[in-house]
Amino acid sequence: MEYLLHVGVMLCLYAILAASFNLLIGFAGLFALSQAAFYALGAYAAAIVTTQLGLPFPLPLIIAVVFTALMSALIALPALRVSGHYLVVISIAMQIIVLQVILNWKSLTGGTDGISGVPAYDLFGLKLDTPELFLPAAAIGALACLWFAFRLTRSPFGRALRAMRENEAAAQAVGKNVLYMKVTVFAISAGMAAVAGVLFARYFTYVGVDSFTIDETIYILAMVILGGAGNLWGSVVGAALLVIAPELLKFLPLPVDIADKMRLIAYGVVLMGVLLFRPQGLMPEPRGRKAMFVPVDAEREESDAETLFKGDKGTKGETVMEGRNLRKQFGGITAVDDFSIELKRGVITGLLGPNGAGKTTAFNLLTGFLRPTSGEIVLRGSPIGNAKPHELVGKGVARSFQDLRLFTRMTVIENVIVALPDQTGDRVLPLFLRPGKVKAEERANAARAMEILRFVELEAKAHDTAEDLSYAEEKLLVVARLLATGAEVLLFDEPMSGLDRNTLQEVFPVIRRLAENGKTICIIEHNLDVIKELCDVVWFLDEGHAMATGTPDELMNDPELAQRYFK
């Protein structure tokens, strides 16, 4: 019986570790292989403060979690400026460095001998020094961590994490502070791993570096993959399978050395089978209504369509945004040279020119994705050239991308809700300290999102996954997502490309209605029919500078432009 209870304790520890790793990999899309290092930091921090300082519960737990979270944040700040395989390499280096410090700081960590004599938990004089007595403590720790993780992921912050996972640039373009989200989720994931480390130290009353190698990180990763990335219940299932299955192998009538090898073979066979036949894991990430944090009936609440454009209507034709003498160089190449542009309220401005003319570079300058080499960008009379993309969205400037960059694995309504500004639940502390306000905002935001979807005539697709939309519907969702930001200046990068004539006639009225309601619109477009029918004024770019400005008819009748571009 004691053996089974021991397995139960280990299951609780690995459920915490798998859930913490899933936050990082499954929800945030940060593939960092350093989870065992934070597991170790939590265990060693608890062991040191209990054996050397004699601090009573819960101080060792608090100190270990805070210390590990802070250390992970400090490490993450430089590391998270990279992504993909670069992050994998850096995180492995982090794992190695942490273990080497533990091994070589013998006066503090005991080096290869580790730290023994860690006191077991003492509850009113009762020492929790057996599996039977320790299991309730481990279960409480696991349930608390899982509750925290579920609350975090089923929230506006969790939705923003998934948006960042889908496309970082698009998340920035709807106002999300990607660096804040990365550092925060990294610290939370490390803090949860530290909880498992503290429980480990108190249960075994010993910590040694051999328990926290890179193999341990791979073991936890296997649990996430097996259970299902992006699903916390999957983490629990994956942990249960990989903790229990090896123990069952011990009952096979095989020599010990063969049983050990069979365990490794079983891991490999199971993982290969999952990757081949169910790559999404045993419990895939929830989609559709199941992924919604707010009750599904909240979207049925009434929302006034007029509020979509509240505060946008001013004097038509007034200049809202300017680019003045912009210049952008990449080494010896000048992509934009002495380019000036005015974007006016209620006016649809077009950027026209051949491929390589600098149109997208100009967009990136105006929206903060690139810094100008020289020149000035002004919004309502104030310079904004140093603002970051997510900051510009808050100031009232939002943009789309030529390749759409929708959050494809999220629903249509989630694509819109995530773009709504000033969400209390986007920050972790308010999320837990003001849950009532967050829930009320979610209901209001769901209603507002549905109103936006009605505006672009996508309300019937609200709970469809974005990747299941037609190409024309994806274009309309891009418009809806930009409208959700509340920005008054909307920049569209080739919003009509790839659409047939009939579909264009369905999209044109949506763009026109935006301008009629006070939005300042700028579009990059190659289709001359779109330019002629939709734009009020056009700037023609070639070789990085504006060759001409005027109405579509004026530019198309210009002999020089007709010779260079229109014929």
CB 361 within 8 A of CB 328: yes
Q: What is the pTM of this model?
A: 0.89
| Shared-domain flag, residues 322 and 205 | no
Q: Which pLDDT does position 263 carry in this prediction?
A: 67
Strand partners, 321: 343, 379
Q: By C-alpha distance, which of 518, 525, 304, 513 is closest to 396?
A: 518
| Runs of H (alpha helix) within 485-522 | 501-516
CB 359 within 8 A of CB 541: yes
Q: Summarize pLDDT for 34-84 with one digit per residue, the tens.
A: 899 999 999 999 999 999 888 888 899 999 999 999 988 887 777 666 666
CB 373 within 8 A of CB 339: no
| Shared-domain flag, residues 198 and 329 | no
Q: Which pLDDT does position 552 carry in this prediction?
A: 87
Domain count, the chain: 2
Lowest mean pLDDT among 170-184, 267-281, 324-338: 267-281
| Shared-domain flag, residues 416 and 539 | yes
Q: By C-alpha distance, which of 145, 159, 168, 294 is closest to 232?
A: 145
| Shared-domain flag, residues 77 and 193 | yes
Structure tokens at 445: 């935001």
Look up the CATH number of the domain holding residue 491: 3.40.50.300
Q: Residue 218 corresponds to which amino acid? A: I
In this prediction, residues 367-392 reach a mean pLDDT of: 90
Q: What confidence category does residue 311 fall into, taking pLDDT thresholds of 50, 70 and 90?
A: low
In this predicted structure, the answer to whether residue 420 has a pLDDT above a threshold of 90 is yes
| Shared-domain flag, residues 66 and 187 | yes
Domain range for 18 is 2-210
| Shared-domain flag, residues 198 and 342 | no
Q: Which pLDDT does position 274 carry in this prediction?
A: 74
Structure tokens at 267: 């891991």
